[in-house]
């Protein structure tokens, strides 16, 4: 799809989203957290499942009550409460550091002002925080504040390359800018959910299930994968769908923590 027009790319994306939504949807609305809470949950979600990161977040908030108390706590105490999320020794100092950076820059942990900024300025404000990149910034702006901000994780990057939604040669940073421009604002949340779901359930990094893929007819990458798969075909490659329709990056948070 080299040299393709923006209009054609958008038509390609719209067709893919319609097919993926029919296959995996309808998608539940993501549970909204306050922006600073979403930022903490994003840190906890790194290199672990949504279930484990949700449990770690719940433990953290049940113990401390507020993020202000988390910011004031010792790194060791934070680490103890988030053990269930994995990599606690890395995530605990990062959480404490990010929360205190926000307080230093903003005077409080209330980040609602970001909703009144252009998306690019919101991303710029969040990425000044040490350890927060464009993906985490996009998640906060999109999931918490409902802004049309793109957040590219490993699934979105992989699937978008395979389907040539983005040029195959683009790195993640360029892909953020490209997709923010190409995907229509009203499509971004659905794009995030649909593409991640497809990446998790069908278009995996290793041995994607091309023979069961609803968008295979639109995929320039399928031929190579199908050729490789035919060499060691097995019944274990059946498509399994998440019947609960779990929305990516949408923790099950008890009502008292909402």
Instruction: Return the pLDDT at 242.
Output: 47
User: What does the mean pLDDT of the chain come to?
Assistant: 87
Residue 29 lies in a domain: yes
**Total domains in the fold of the chain:** 1
Pairwise CA distance, residues 122 & 145, whole Å: 11
Are 10 and 184 within 8 A, CB to CB?
yes
User: What is the model's pTM?
Assistant: 0.83
- Mean pLDDT of the region 90-114: 97
Give me the mean pLDDT over the 215-233 stretch: 77
Whether 97 maps to a domain, the answer reads no
Residue 234 has pLDDT above 60, yes or no: no
Does residue 48 sit within a domain? no
Q: Which domain holds residue 171?
A: 1-34+111-258
Buried-state track 41-63, b at ≥16 Cβ within 10 A, e below 16 = bbbbbbebebebbbbbbbbbbee
Contacts with 191 (C-beta within 8 Å, 6 or more apart), sequence order: 13, 17, 179, 183
Tell me the per-residue pLDDT of 115-160, one tens digit each, with 9 for 90 and over: 999 999 999 999 999 989 999 999 999 999 999 999 999 999 999 9
| Residue 135 falls inside a structural domain | yes
* H or E element that contains 172: helix 172-182
Does residue 225 belong to any structural domain of this protein?
A: yes
Local structure of 215: helix, strand or coil: coil
How many other C-beta atoms can be found within 10 angstroms of the C-beta atom of residue 146?
Answer: 12
Residue 252 has pLDDT above 80, yes or no: no
Q: Give the span between the Cα atoms of 245 and 144, in whole angstroms.
A: 19
Q: Residues 6 or more apart from 76 whose CB is under 8 A from it?
A: 92
Q: Residue 89 pLDDT > 60, yes or no?
A: yes
pLDDT in the model for residue 239: 45
pLDDT confidence tier of residue 224, bands split at 50, 70 and 90: confident
The answer on pLDDT for 225 being more than 90 is no
The C-alpha atoms of residue 125 and residue 105 are separated, in whole angstroms, by 10
Question: Distance between the two ends of the chain, CA-based, in angstroms?
Answer: 44
16 CA to centre of own chain: 18
Q: Average pLDDT of 199-222?
A: 92
* Residues 154-209 pLDDT 10s: 999 999 999 999 988 889 989 999 999 999 999 999 999 999 999 999 999 988 99
Angle between helix 6-24 and helix 172-182 axes, rounded to 10 deg: 90
In a domain, 102, yes or no: no
The CATH number for 195's domain is 1.10.1670.10
In the predicted structure, residue 82 carries a pLDDT above the cut 50: yes
| 237 pLDDT more than 50 | no
Task: Please compute the mean of the pLDDT values over residues 241-253 and round it to a whole number.
Answer: 51
Would you say residue 149 lies in a domain? yes
Burial of 186 (0-12, 13-18, 19+ CB in 10 A): exposed
| pLDDT higher than 50, residue 40 | yes
Candidates 42, 258, 33; CA nearest to 144 is 33
Would residue 93 count as lying in a domain?
no
């Amino acid at each position: 799809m080299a040299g393709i027009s923006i209009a054609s790319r958008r038509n390609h994306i719209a067709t893919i989203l319609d097919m993926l939504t029919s296959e995996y949807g309808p998608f539940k609305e993501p549970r909204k957290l306050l922006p600073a809470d979403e930022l903490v949950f994003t840190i906890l979600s790194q290199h672990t499942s949504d279930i484990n990161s949700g449990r770690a977040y719940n433990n953290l908030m049940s113990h401390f009550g507020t993020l202000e108390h988390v910011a004031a706590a010792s790194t060791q105490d934070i680490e103890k409460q988030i053990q269930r999320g994995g990599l606690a020794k890395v995530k605990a100092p990062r959480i404490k550091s990010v929360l205190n950076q926000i307080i230093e820059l903003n005077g409080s942990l209330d980040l609602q002002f970001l909703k009144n900024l252009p998306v690019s300025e919101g991303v710029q404000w969040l990425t000044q925080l040490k350890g927060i990149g464009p993906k985490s910034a996009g998640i906060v702006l999109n999931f918490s504040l409902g802004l049309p901000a793109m957040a590219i994780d490993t699934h979105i990057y992989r699937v978008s390359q395979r389907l040539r939604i983005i040029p195959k040669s683009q790195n993640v940073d360029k892909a953020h800018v490209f997709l923010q421009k190409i995907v229509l604002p009203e499509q971004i949340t659905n794009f995030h959910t649909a593409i991640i779901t497809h990446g998790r359930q069908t278009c995996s990094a290793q041995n994607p299930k091309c023979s069961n893929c609803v968008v295979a007819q639109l995929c320039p990458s399928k031929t190579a994968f199908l050729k490789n798969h035919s060499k060691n075909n097995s019944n274990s490659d059946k498509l399994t769908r998440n019947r609960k329709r779990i929305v990516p990056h949408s923790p099950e948070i008890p009502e008292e923590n909402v």
